Amino acid sequence: MDDEVRCRYCERLLKKTSGGVVLHPDTGDRLPMNFYGGPVCSKRCDIAACIALESSMPGAGIARRPGSFAQEQIDRNWPDDD
């Protein structure tokens, strides 16, 4: 399906409303977008997706944590988590 939406990192199937809002399939919570694009279902996936992408950049080496701009967005995306 064209409008199938999956978590950028774990590829879990997510819900999308007609208004384009992405929701968690179990909790119905509105899900944020990853810094590099695409919805993510949890803070863990948000962080992991950033690290995976940054590690894949030419010459970057293995990233252990997201870059500072990506981390700022992660903090905004999940204000209730730590």
Residues that bind Zn ion (CB under 5 A): 7, 9-10, 12, 41, 45
The neighbour count for residue 11, using CB atoms within 10 Å, is 10
Tokens encoding 9: 């990192």
Q: Nearer to Zn ion by C-beta: 12 or 16?
A: 12
4 Cβ neighbours under 8 A, 6+ residues apart: 13
Min dist. Cβ of residue 44 to Zn ion (A): 7
Q: Nearer to Zn ion by C-beta: 26 or 82?
A: 26
Q: Nearer to Zn ion by C-beta: 12 or 63?
A: 12
